[in-house]
Amino acid sequence: MNQSERAELVADIAAAIKESSNLSEDEVRWVKLAIHKQEQSIKLRQAIIEKTLGGLVWAALAGLAYIVFDFFKNHGFK
């Protein structure tokens, strides 16, 4: 397959896709909104995961600090 045949094949495929896509304007708008909603959902999920992991790290640091200070308090270091 040479370059011109490949370009012709791509053009034929693009034309076939355009012909098979007989969505109305409302359907196209709905699909775009559904895609946008899914993108927002993914971003929200990522933000929740980041905040949760950050909170867990801070809780672990606070717990570790409490254990260290309690150890020193109980063993006579002031």
Q: What is the pLDDT of residues 7-29, one digit of tens each?
A: 888 888 878 777 766 777 888 78
Predicted TM-score of the model (pTM): 0.55
Q: What is the pLDDT of residues 21-69, one digit of tens each?
A: 677 788 878 988 998 999 999 999 999 999 999 999 999 999 999 999 9
DSSP the chain: --HHHHHHHHHHHHHHHHHH----HHHHHHHHHHHHHHHHHHHHHHHHHHHHHHHHHHHHHHHHHHHHHHHHHHTT--
